[in-house]
A and B are shown apart, each in its own frame.
Chain A
Amino acid sequence: MGRTLRRGRLGAFAVSAAAAVVCVYLLVPSVAVLPLSVTATNFVVFPPHGFSTGWYQALFTSQVWRNALISSFSVASLTTLVATPVGTMMALGLANFHGWLARASNFIVLLPIIVPTIVTAVALYSALAPLGLVGTIPGLALAHTVLALPFVVINVSAVLAKLDPRMVQAARSLGARPLAAFRLVTLPNLLPGVAAGALFAFLTSFDDFVVALFLAGVGAVTLPVQMWSGIRFEISPVVAAASTVLLATSCLLLALQRLVRGR
């Protein structure tokens, strides 16, 4: 009994250690950006030469960057608001498909991820241009919704597949109407999947630049597009500064969320 316990503990320790190492690996490039943003030179070298907050100054006084930030947030929020419910509904509907119809529709849902983004960008452009939606926030959000849908569906479906259908049946047999059964039984269990899907949707939109590059007009330049031009031509530390600001914001949001949760 003792040996099994020790083996169990050893296993648990190994898993924790592995997880910790991987987490550091995940963090490394994001954290490395911080020193890059305070370099005194025009160049990006690690470790950086000199210290200067000039890049942050340049960032905050720039109308262009501010607009880019606002655009990115607007588009991503819109995308999440549309893609999450639509995607969740799709996942629920798809769960009731059978046989070849299920397989075919599952593959079709995956298509926006499979098709290289550059091709999707061209296709989306040709679809949205005649409608005059290029270079607008709603147009870009619509385009990003196409990209985000598969993620929502995959995440919700994965959790749905593990859901025991008998729970719903039990609720129904106890007299609950279909909508109530859904609301009280299915939905709470679905929440981790929906939450993950919503997160993916937001970040797909926020991070995307291939489609945004194509669909950005004078009116809707998102942050990645702005960064892209700041990287493509030369690696300006302003981009590193922008990146650090974003990171700081997200840390703040996470901290706030924990405080609100109260734990």
Chain B
Amino acid sequence: MTDVAAGSLRRRRSRSRRTAFLLVLPGAAVLAALFLLPIAQLIAGSFSDHAGALVHYRRILAVPVYLLVLGRTVVISAITAAICLVLGFPVAYRLVHAGPRGKAAILLCVFLSFWTNLLIRAFSWMVLLNPNGIVSHLFGAMGMPGGSVKLVYNLTGVLIGQTQILLPYMILPLAAVMSRLDDAYVKAARSLGASPFRAFTAVYLPLVRTGTLAGCVLVFTLSLGSFVVPALLGGPRDMFLAQLIEFNINQTLNLGFASALSTVLLATTLLLYWIGDHWFGLGQVWGGR
């Protein structure tokens, strides 16, 4: 490469880096001023109590309730993400590979569920799933004794409600990635003799990886911070950490403790994110090459 060419390449590289920074700037400014700074203040607040810097954290470690609830929150959120993946995949696939009427129909379903306010949906499920309600009667008609399967105010209720609410967050990113996928790869695999199953697992799945990961990350993190569905549809054991945080903010006005709980939640997510990056290359989702 000649000196001129090398110089121009360097200039182009630094220009592109400058452009990259400029592009990121407005968003970064909004996040920094309106979000990062106040959150940092909140976290700092969790460490500055009269009774000592670590009093809140010691309480979290000493009283088993909090870590137990955190654990359950993580596990239930993970299960929700998995279910969303299994249920959302066929829908995303059909959305991308359907004719205009099919596309419209599926989009209608997704859109409609999105448009119904979260609270309405939660209450709707409560009414539908209650032991004297319609779903129970359906089960009874199908031969199972009506009251035997308890569908609400327990983990089942939480999963049914949470999954339905978070499904669109799995379907849309998946569909967006799938729609950019060239059919040619799968067709090539099939023409080379691969069974549909093999073509799917060995060729298609890896290609939609970024969509899968994006969807799972979205659903998982949204579920971690939620509290409406677990509160309304869950049983006593299905407490999410956000409920405890909300209690401490709105009832006992213990903002310091609530901040400490939030910091713990944040730290847990950091840890899981790091593991995800290590094991699944999560960072790839955002093109961090």
Contacts and interface: CB of A to CB of B under 8 A. Distances in A.
Contact of A95 (B37, B190, B287): B287
A95 B167 CA distance: 27
B14 to A, nearest CB: 12
A114 interface: yes
A42 to B, nearest CB: 14
Nearest to A250: B115
Contacts of B169: 200
Contact of B116 (A30, A158, A193, A254): A30
B34 A90 contact: no
B180 A224 contact: no
A28 B161 CA distance: 11
B225 A111 contact: no
A124 interface: yes
Interface of B: 16-17, 19-28, 30-31, 33-39, 41-42, 87-88, 90-91, 93-95, 100, 104-121, 123-125, 127-128, 133-134, 164, 167-169, 172-173, 175-177, 179-181, 190, 195-197, 200, 210-211, 214, 217-218, 221-222, 224-225, 227, 241-242, 245-246, 249-250, 255, 258-259, 262, 265-266, 269-270, 273, 277, 283-289
Contacts of B195: 4, 7
A158 B249 contact: no
B35 A146 contact: yes
A16 B105 CA distance: 13
A58 interface: no
A184 interface: no
B214 A154 contact: yes
A110 interface: yes
A23 B91 contact: yes
Given A27-B113, A45-B127, A251-B108, A96 B17 contact: yes
A40 interface: no
A119 B108 CA distance: 33
B288 A102 contact: yes
A86 B211 CA distance: 22
A60 interface: no
Nearest to A157: B286
Give 9 closest A-B pairs by Cβ, nearest first.
A102-B288, A93-B23, A29-B124, A123-B38, A93-B24, A96-B20, A90-B27, A116-B225, A19-B94
Interface in A93-125: 93-99, 102-103, 105-120, 122-124
A89 B23 contact: yes
Most buried by A among B124, B217, B285, B287: B287
Interface residues of A, number: 104
Given A19-B93, A27-B112, A93 B19 contact: yes
B20 A93 contact: yes
A90 B215 CA distance: 19
A26 B172 contact: no
A128 B30 CA distance: 12
Interface in A29-79: 29-30, 32-33, 36, 44-47
B62 to A, nearest CB: 22
Nearest to A29: B124
A25 B112 CA distance: 12
27 contacts: A7-B195, A16-B90, A19-B106, A22-B87, A25-B87, A29-B120, A29-B124, A30-B116, A33-B120, A89-B23, A92-B23, A93-B25, A95-B286, A107-B273, A111-B35, A113-B221, A114-B221, A118-B242, A118-B245, A126-B38, A154-B173, A154-B285, A158-B211, A159-B180, A227-B120, A240-B120, A263-B100
Contacts, number: 317
A136 interface: no
A144 B148 CA distance: 43
Nearest to B92: A19
A161 B114 contact: no
Given A155-B173, A196-B176, A96 B16 contact: yes
A149 B27 CA distance: 8
A258 interface: yes
B172 A199 contact: yes
Contacts of A189: 180
B111 to A, nearest CB: 6
B224 A114 contact: yes
A158 B106 contact: no
B99 to A, nearest CB: 10
A96 B221 CA distance: 25
Interface in A142-166: 142-143, 145-146, 149, 151, 153-155, 157-163
Most buried by A among B19, B180, B285: B180
A8 interface: yes
A29 B23 contact: no
Contact of B24 (A89, A113, A119, A247): A89
Most buried by B among A46, A155, A228, A263: A46
A256 interface: no
A209 B242 CA distance: 15
A119 B259 contact: yes
Contact of B245 (A19, A119, A239): A119
